[in-house]
Amino acid sequence: MFPRTGEGRSTSALGRAVVADALRAVDPVGARAVEHETDWRHGYLGHFRRLVEAGLLSRTAALTIARDGLASLHTRMTVVADDGTETPLNDLFNAPVRDEPLATATVTGDGAVEREFSLPYRGERLRGDALRRRLDAWVDAGVIEPSCAQAVGAVLANPDWLDLRDQRMVVLGAGAEMGPLPSVLRWGGDVVAVDLPRPEIWRRLLQTARRHGGRLHLPVPAGTSADDPALATRAGADLLHRLPQVARWLTGVEGRLVLGNYVYADGATNVRVATAVDALTAHLRGQRDDVALAFLATPTDVYAVPADAVRHAEQGYARRGAARRALRVVSGGRLLHRNYPPEADPGVNDSLVPQQGPNYALAKRLQRWRAAVTRDTGAVVSFTVAPPTRTRSVVRNRALAAAYAGAHRFGIEVFEPATSNTLMAALLVHDLRTGGGPTHEQPWQDEAYAAAHGGLWRVPYAPRSALGLAVLLGLGGART
């Protein structure tokens, strides 16, 4: 739960406090500006950008921001027991676990195991040279970074990498559209699935498991077997309300764990469940020395980007001079700002979308912080920026759905979920087989590696300055 303050359990108070604490040691002026922000719901955008900019001072600065932000969140968030007793989050795993231990039901699929990477794209299944041509086309169009194409190319060249039976892929948020569960099962791997005890989720997951060649391990009450006809109604684990129970179950899973964070919830609950996952992550890493981490980063955030992306954007900006000037005059200078100052190195891409709100931004930022501090310990971390994708959570929001429908007018490609989750699964395989990918000097370079941002980093215009136009252009498409 959020901590009690004079404003009640305020999400804005928590967000302000955590961001201020993260900045304080590196950027005290920025921290004070956060504390004096009176309209957090709308004013958070600049402060989240400042978290990235302050981290560019040095590697030490970036890691200090990450560590202090995580520490603030863990210190401030609280746990409320069933009887109403309230304790600090940091004390959660010190208390006795009163819930009954979870058991495991394992479902083995009947499908053939695939050992060649293929990508569903616009009604086709791309393989081999056709897939390589698609990767090259995306690089030329600025849809993905060249390092993304190189990483996927390495998976194509090493099909044995797809055999993930030496890993236990824990998918937190197993029902998520962007998760790797279908791909890992298709490749014959083992998936340890965690999601809410909702029968409709587990019926869908069980159908997926049975038609592929891998094994799905489900959390169930003791005495439940895999052939139980009511299996879908008995499976599931609640990270918000039964976190110690889930932690004990995962601690006992045999084999190397890859802890994949794919959870999502609406509004303030997103921060709560993201915090629960982070607490689980820290606990499991303290209990086991074989835990790798996997994250999918949202493209609608603030990132430092390489000089090559800046040059690409600048070339496009120069080519669109006449149309740009006309629209800027008509809009009073509000539309179509250039994406970067000329020759910025690195550039700062600000693709935060106001409609997603500060809770979404904080939930995603704490994942970036955890990835950075864990990678700094030498552990294997897969952190990849995913492309804009037409997931259910996006298309429910009319403004976002319209913006995505109109985004192609600005050189941004919005992906279908099957394309995104398969592409991201390939990048996960690459990271697991290469020890987390190449080593970089700065944390921002780790985040930029193999990014599949859909074009947001390389378009000529700052994304928010084109957002209104994209919405208008896409309204018809979003309705159809």
Task: Please state which of the ranges 3-17, 184-198, 240-254 shows the lowest mean pLDDT.
Answer: 3-17
What pLDDT score does 476 carry? 62
Domain count, the chain: 2
Strand, coil or helix: what is 292?
Answer: strand
Regarding whether 176 and 33 lie in a shared domain, the answer is no
Residue 330 falls inside a structural domain: no
Residue 409 has pLDDT above 90, yes or no: no
Pairwise pLDDT comparison (97 vs 224), residue with the higher score: 224
Average pLDDT over residues 428-456: 97
479: confidence class by pLDDT, cuts 50, 70, 90: very low
Residue 322 falls inside a structural domain: no
Regarding whether 430 and 376 lie in a shared domain, the answer is yes
Mean pLDDT across the chain, nearest whole number?
A: 93
Residue 313 falls inside a structural domain: no
- Domain stop point among 57, 87, 117: 87
Give the domain range for residue 79: 1-87
For 77-133, write each residue's pLDDT tens digit. 999 988 888 999 999 998 888 889 999 999 999 999 999 999 999 999 999 999 999
For 356-401, write each residue's pLDDT tens digit. 899 999 999 999 999 999 999 999 999 999 999 988 877 787 778 8
Regarding whether 237 and 166 lie in a shared domain, the answer is yes
In terms of Cα–Cα distance, which of 357, 369, 381 is closest to 23? 369
Regarding whether 61 and 122 lie in a shared domain, the answer is no
Residue 331 has pLDDT above 60, yes or no: no
Regarding whether 380 and 259 lie in a shared domain, the answer is yes
Q: What are phi and psi of 71, to 5 degrees?
A: -60, -40
Residue 312 falls inside a structural domain: no
For 414-429, write each residue's pLDDT tens digit. 999 999 999 999 999 9
What are the angstrom distances between the C-alpha of 81 and each of 85, 197, 268? 5, 19, 19
What pLDDT score does 6 carry? 79
Rounded CA separation 178/166 (Å): 23
For the stretch 317-345, what's the b/e string if a residue is b when 16 or more beta carbons lie within 10 angstroms of its beta carbon?
Answer: beeeeeebeebeeeeeeebbbbbbeeebe
What pLDDT score does 139 carry? 98
Average pLDDT over residues 226-250: 95
- What are the structure tokens assigned to 334, written together? 């509000």
- What are the structure tokens assigned to 160, written together? 């044995």
Regarding whether 201 and 116 lie in a shared domain, the answer is yes
For 147-206, write each residue's pLDDT tens digit. 999 999 999 999 999 999 999 999 999 999 999 999 999 999 999 999 999 999 999 999
Residue 332 has pLDDT above 60, yes or no: no
Query: Are 17 and 288 spatial neighbours (Cβ–Cβ below 8 Å)?
Result: no
For 264-308, write each residue's pLDDT tens digit. 999 999 999 999 999 999 999 999 999 999 999 999 999 999 999
DSSP lists the bridge partners of residue 305 as 347
Residue 480 has pLDDT above 50, yes or no: no
For 298-323, write each residue's pLDDT tens digit. 999 999 999 999 999 999 988 876 55
- What are the structure tokens assigned to 54, written together? 């302050």
Query: Are 354 and 300 spatial neighbours (Cβ–Cβ below 8 Å)?
Result: no
For 29-64, write each residue's pLDDT tens digit. 999 999 999 999 999 999 999 999 999 999 999 999
What pLDDT score does 325 carry? 60
What are the angstrom distances between the C-alpha of 377 and each of 110, 367, 373, 374, 477? 40, 16, 7, 5, 47
Regarding whether 133 and 5 lie in a shared domain, the answer is no
Strand, coil or helix: what is 120?
Answer: strand
Regarding whether 17 and 110 lie in a shared domain, the answer is no
Regarding whether 110 and 64 lie in a shared domain, the answer is no
